[in-house]
Structure 1
Amino acid sequence: MIKTTSTREPTPRQEANTKRRMETVGKNVIRNLASDPIDLTNSDGEDEEPAYPRYRTRSYSEFSLRAQEIQESEGSSYKSTPEPDRGAIQEQRHQQEIESFQKRLADETVRANKLELEISCLKSDHAIALQNEKDRLNDLQSQFDEENHELAETNKQLTTERDQLSNSLSATKSELEKLQAAHEELKNSRPSGSPMPSTSTSFPLTPVSTQQDDELSRLRNVKSTYLAVKKKYNVIFAIARNLTAASRGMKLEYFGDFGAYVRQLNRAVETNGEDGGGIYHSLVGSSTDT
C-alpha cells in the first residue's frame, strides 16, 4: 500500500540543485537591474542622502518572489512523488513469508502422511512375516519334539533288547560250559580202545551193562542239552538279526556303550551267520573285552 499524501525531506542533491537555481535567478535579476539607469534624485530634483536604493528593494522583492516560486515548485514536486510505506512493505514481506511457510508446511504434511502410510505398511508386512516365522518355528519345534520322543522310545527299546540279549548270552554261556564239561567228562570216562557209541536213537533190546547204560544216558543228556542250547542259540540269533536290521542306518556313535555293543553284534552276525556257535564266541569275546 502506497500513500500519496505523505511528504519527505529533500535529499542533499535536490537541495544543491535548488540552491543553484536560486543563485542563477539572483544573478539574472542583478544583471537586469544593472542595465537600468540608477535614479538617485527625488521628484524635486534635489539630491538626497544616500539611502537604500530603490532598485535594491525591488530586486530583493523580485528575488524573494522568484525564490518562493522555486521553493513552491520544488515542494510540489516533492509532494507529488509518492513514498512507499515501510510498515506496509514489511507487512507485505511478512505475509509472503507466512504464505511460503504455509506452503512448506502443507508439503511437509503431505510428505509426513506418505511416510506414515509407508511405515504402517512396513509394520503390517513385518508383523505378517514374523507370525509366519513363529508358526514355522513352532512346527519345527513340534517335529523336533516328536522325533526326539521317537528316538527316546527307540533307545529305550534297544536298551531293553540289549539287556535281554546279554542275559540270554550269559545263560547260554553257562549252559555251554556245562555241556563242554559233560563232554570232557564223557570223553575221559570212555575206554581208550572202545569205539565211540552211536548217537542214533535206536537202542538194542538186549540188556546191557551198567557202564554202557551210563554212557548212553550221558550221551542222551549231551544230545538234549545240545538241542536246548541250539534252540536258544537260534532264538538269540533271531533277536540279534532283528536288532541289526533295526539299527541299520543309525549313527551308533551317538549311543555310547550301547552303540559299541550294537556294532559288535552287527559284525558278529555278518561274519558268522546262522551256521554255528562262532557268533557266540564273538559275542562272548567282545563282551569280555569291553
Structure 2
Amino acid sequence: MNGSGNHRDKTATERYKALRQKGAVTDDERLLSRPTQPLVSPNQPVPRERIKEEEHAFERALNFDYTMTDPWRVFRIMSEFVNGFDVLAHIPPSIAIFGSARTKASDPSYAAATETARLLAQAGFGVITGGGPGIMEAANKGAQEGGNLSIGCNIELPFEQASNPYLDISLDFRYFFVRKTLFMKYSSAFIIFPGGFGTMDELFEALTLIQTKKVSNFPIILYGSEYWGGLMDWLRTTMLGVENISPKDLDLLLVSDDPAEICMLVCDAYQRNSQLEKVDSSRETSIR
C-alpha cells in the first residue's frame, strides 16, 4: 500500500471543504438574500438576454437542489415516513391490492378487483392501493362498497397520476421505497392483479422480504391463472431448475381466479397468524 488512494481522498476532501467555505456565506444569508436585478418597465419588452439568463438561472437552481443537497433530502424522506406512520397507525387490519393503472372499467379484472375488495371489506379488512386509476380504483371502490376503510398511497411521477375518487385516506409520496415500506408494514396480505413493471416490483419486493425472513410470512395471491401462468411456469422450470430458489419458495405464491376464494385464503391466514401470536407472544412480527 503506497497510500496514494488515501492521498487522493484527502485532497478531494480538502478541495470540497474549500468550495463549501468559499466566501464564508452562511445558510441564513444564502436563504434570505436575493441578488439585485435590472429593472424593466412593464411597458418595455424584456431583453432576450434577460430571458435567457433567467431560464439558465432557474435550471441551475433546480440542478443545485438535486446535486448539492442530498443530506438535506433525508429530512424530506423522514417527513414522508413520519406522516405515513402517523396517518396509518390506527387503521384496521388491511390488505394491499396491486395491479395495472391502465386497466379499463370494462376489463373483467376490474370487476374482479372490485368484488375481491368488497368481500375483504365485509370480512373486516381495510384496503390499501397505490391510489391511482385502473385496478387500484377498482379495489378502492370495492372497499367503500363493502363499508370499510379505503386507503390510497399515491406516487409522484413525471406523468401525473391523479388519485381515484374512492379514497377515505389519501397519501402522496415522492419516494417509491418509502411507499413500499408502508405497504409492507400495514398490509396483512398482498393480492396481485394483472399489471406491469410496477406491479412486478411490489410482488418481488414482498417475496424477497419474506424469503429472507425480513418480514413475517403473509399471503401473496396472484389473481388470474392465465395471466400469471407463464411466470409460474418459468419460476418452476427455469429458476427452480437451476436451483436459484428452493421448492418451498414457490409455496410463497398462491394463484386464484375466484374473489371468494381469495377472501377465504386471506381470512384463514390472518386467523392462523393471530393464533400463533397468542401461543408465542415473542414471535417475530418484523416491521408489521
- TM-score normalised by structure 1 residue count: 0.23
Q: Which has the higher contact order (CA 8 A, sep 6+)?
A: 1
TM-score, normalising length: structure 2: 0.23
Structure number with the higher strand fraction is 2
Between structure 1 and structure 2, the one with the greater Rg is 1
Bigger helix fraction: 1
